Amino acid sequence: MLYLAQYLHPNSQSQPYLKLLAQRQTSQIWRLLDPPEPLPLDEPLGLPTSQPEQDLLAEVEHELRLSSGVLLLVTLEGKEVKHWESATSWLLDLVQGYLRGGETPEFLSQEQNRLEAWRQQLTLEQQDLGRRLLEMEARLAKMQNLESDASDP
């Protein structure tokens, strides 16, 4: 299962852990974990074999390690980390796609306002239809009363 996680290693005496922030449901759908779930690690995550991005690394006690606080995409099997990589390029692609689609905060706010106005209009129409239905039922009852009065000698 793929997760967006934050790697945390507060100090050299404490045990490192992952803070699981979101879980991928499908290729395009992620579920936020609220509250985020901590996943203790037996040892710090090792450096990737490929050239890691410099913002992932920190020098701790004359040794390069993964920086505490970096965001990672982590593949877990049970509670075991099978694979991890930096989430930086994934997040940048996500933001670029979001902005390229024209879905700016202003656009979303306008859409929210438009949807609220539409919902209010539907509510008014529903109320009007309910009123008309009651009027028709009242007329029908009145006509039935008139018919029954006319049929009585």
Residue 83, pLDDT score: 87
- pLDDT at position 153: 65
pLDDT tens digits along 51-73: 555 566 555 555 566 778 889 99
116: phi then psi, degrees, rounded to nearest 5 = -65, -40
The per-residue DSSP string of the chain comes to: -EEEEEEE--STTSPPEEEEEEEESSSS-EEEEEEEEEEE-SSPPPPPSS---GGGEEEETTEEEEPTT-EEEEEEETTEEEEEEESHHHHHHHHHHHHHTT--HHHHHHHHHHHHHHHHHHHHHHHHHHHHHHHHHHHHHHHHHHHHHHH--
Integer CA distances (angstroms), 85 to 37, 105, 112, 124, 125, in order: 19, 29, 36, 52, 53
Report pLDDT for 86: 85
102-135 residue pLDDT tens: 677 888 889 999 999 999 999 999 999 999 999 9
- Is the pLDDT reported for residue 149 higher than 70? yes
pLDDT digits (tens, 9 = 90+) for 64-100: 667 788 899 999 988 888 888 888 888 888 888 777 7
- Mean pLDDT along residues 14-23: 90
